[in-house]
């Protein structure tokens, strides 16, 4: 099983074995120890059953014969004594010692705070104090203790990036917190893991962990309003956006679009994926999405607006330019 795990673990972007934080790494370690102990128990019990099969025609135990007290002692030893020891050890390690790591961080001991807000079926990410709002893509500086505050505007979701940390549910009316403290630069995939309705399966996100410098320059870019349109196509797209229903659901910083239902699109062109990591952010995918989001994510809360092909092309050009 361990081999199977290792083989698959490498090819799996969301595997918990790609741990990139101490927290996640310790949980991995706990898992391997538990697996080892469990294998011991399992194969031990299996061996007993094997002996039972081999000796199916002879009553009693090898060496000990048919004395009832030996059988009873066996139950007491394997059924009470050994489990008590093993369980106390497990309890101490996981529920007393390791739990500190997965508990909510002390906000005074973190370098920054971000807010992650669950929506049906995408993630809104806010950087308090900077005005930056983005979606489905969390950028973080490496080796920085980040206090992640999660909540929701609708139902319960669960933020789970296996390589970085434990998961945490977004509870209506509450603000749960976890710690992200990532040791390695990289892109880590996560996914909503609490069932939240039709498109629960397509509610993923990426955590992009960058060097501090790269992070700072990203943040600076995000703080700027949307860039001005550079081509007539883009300008036409901008026009369509502002004058159709798009603007009633989406915000684009520096324009009149102030909708709050869908993701903030101010810098949508800079994101690597759209629709909660359902599609890569390419012009073709973006166009397909705008033309018929329901075909890509059935039930999604963005309607199929029945736009004509040219309009879609203009919109795509415009949105792609928002970097």
Q: Which residues bind ligand HEA (CB under 6 A)?
A: 41, 45, 82-83, 86-87
- Which option in ligand HEA, ligand HEC, ligand CUA, none does residue 87 bind, with CB closer than 5 to 8 A by kind? ligand HEA
Helix (H) or strand (E) holding 134: strand 132-135
Judged by CB under 6 A, does residue 207 bind ligand CUA? no
Q: How far is the CB of 149 from ligand CUA (least distance, A)?
A: 17
What one-character DSSP code corresponds to residue 91? I
Rounded to whole angstroms, the maximal C-alpha distance in the chain is 94
Q: Which is nearer to ligand HEA, 10 or 82 (CB)?
A: 82
State both tokens at 123. 């993630």
Can you tell me the distance from the alpha carbon of 278 to that of 174, in angstroms, rounded to the nearest whole number? 28
Helix (H) or strand (E) holding 117: strand 112-119
If DSSP codes are grouped into helix, strand and coil, which group holds residue 77?
A: helix
Judged by CB under 6 A, does residue 136 bind ligand CUA? no
- Which option in ligand HEC, ligand HEA, ligand CUA, none does residue 86 bind, with CB closer than 5 to 8 A by kind? ligand HEA
Q: Which is nearer to ligand HEC, 27 or 246 (CB)?
A: 246
Q: Where do the DSSP E strands lie in the chain?
A: 112-119, 122-127, 132-135, 137-141, 146-152, 157-160, 168-170, 176-180, 186-192, 204-210, 273-274, 279-280
Residue nearest to ligand HEA (CB): 83
Q: How far is the CB of 45 from ligand HEA (least distance, A)?
A: 6
State both tokens at 44. 């031990």
Q: How far is the CB of 219 from another protein (least distance, A)?
A: 28
Q: How many CB atoms lie within 10 A of CB 158?
A: 22
Helix (H) or strand (E) holding 52: helix 22-54
Are 203 and 218 a contacting pair, CB within 8 Å?
no
Are 281 and 272 a contacting pair, CB within 8 Å?
yes
- Which option in ligand HEC, ligand HEA, another protein, none does residue 148 bind, with CB closer than 5 to 8 A by kind? none
Judged by CB under 6 A, does residue 198 bind ligand CUA? no
Can you tell me the distance from the alpha carbon of 316 to that of 323, in angstroms, rounded to the nearest whole number? 13
Q: Between 82 and 121, how does the x/- string for binding to ligand CUA read (CB under 6 A)?
A: ------------------------------------x--x
- Which option in ligand CUA, ligand HEC, another protein, none does residue 83 bind, with CB closer than 5 to 8 A by kind? another protein
The dihedral through the CA atoms of 242, 223, 271, 20 has a sign that is negative
Q: Which is nearer to ligand HEC, 28 or 199 (CB)?
A: 199
Q: Which is nearer to ligand HEA, 79 or 254 (CB)?
A: 79
- Which option in ligand HEA, ligand HEC, ligand CUA, none does residue 200 bind, with CB closer than 5 to 8 A by kind? ligand CUA
State both tokens at 168. 């945490």
Residues that bind ligand CUA (CB under 6 A): 118, 121, 157, 192, 194-196, 200, 203
């Amino acid at each position: 099983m361990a081999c199977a795990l290792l083989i698959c673990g490498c090819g799996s972007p969301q595997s918990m074995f790609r741990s990139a934080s101490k927290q996640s790494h310790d949980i991995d370690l706990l898992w391997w120890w538990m697996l080892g102990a469990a294998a011991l128990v399992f194969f031990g019990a299996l061996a007993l059953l094997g002996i039972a099969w081999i000796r199916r025609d002879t009553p009693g135990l090898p060496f000990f014969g048919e004395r009832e007290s030996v059988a009873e002692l066996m139950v007491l030893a394997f059924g009470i004594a050994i489990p008590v020891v093993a369980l106390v050890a497990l309890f101490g390690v996981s529920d007393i010692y390791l739990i500190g790591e997965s508990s909510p961080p002390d906000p005074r001991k973190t370098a920054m705070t971000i807010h992650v807000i669950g929506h049906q079926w995408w993630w809104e990410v806010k950087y308090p104090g900077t005005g930056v709002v983005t979606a489905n893509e969390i950028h973080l500086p490496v080796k920085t203790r980040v206090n992640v505050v999660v909540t929701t505007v609708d139902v319960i979701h669960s933020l789970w990036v296996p390589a970085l940390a434990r998961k945490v549910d977004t509870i209506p009316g509450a603000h749960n917190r976890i710690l992200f403290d990532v040791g390695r630069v990289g892109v880590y995939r996560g996914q909503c893991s609490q069932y939240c309705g039709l498109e629960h399966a397509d509610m993923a996100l990426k955590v992009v962990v960058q060097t501090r410098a790269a992070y700072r320059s990203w943040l600076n870019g995000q703080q700027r309003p949307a860039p001005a349109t550079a081509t007539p196509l883009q300008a036409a797209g901008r026009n369509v956006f502002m004058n159709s229903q798009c603007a009633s659901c989406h915000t684009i910083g520096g324009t009149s679009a102030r909708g709050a239902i869908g993701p903030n699109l101010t810098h949508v062109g800079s994101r690597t994926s759209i629709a909660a990591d359902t599609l890569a952010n390419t012009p073709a995918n973006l166009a397909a999405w705008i033309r018929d989001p329901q075909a890509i994510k059935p039930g999604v809360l963005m309607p199929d607006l029945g736009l004509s092909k040219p309009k879609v092309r203009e919109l795509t050009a415009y949105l792609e330019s928002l970097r």
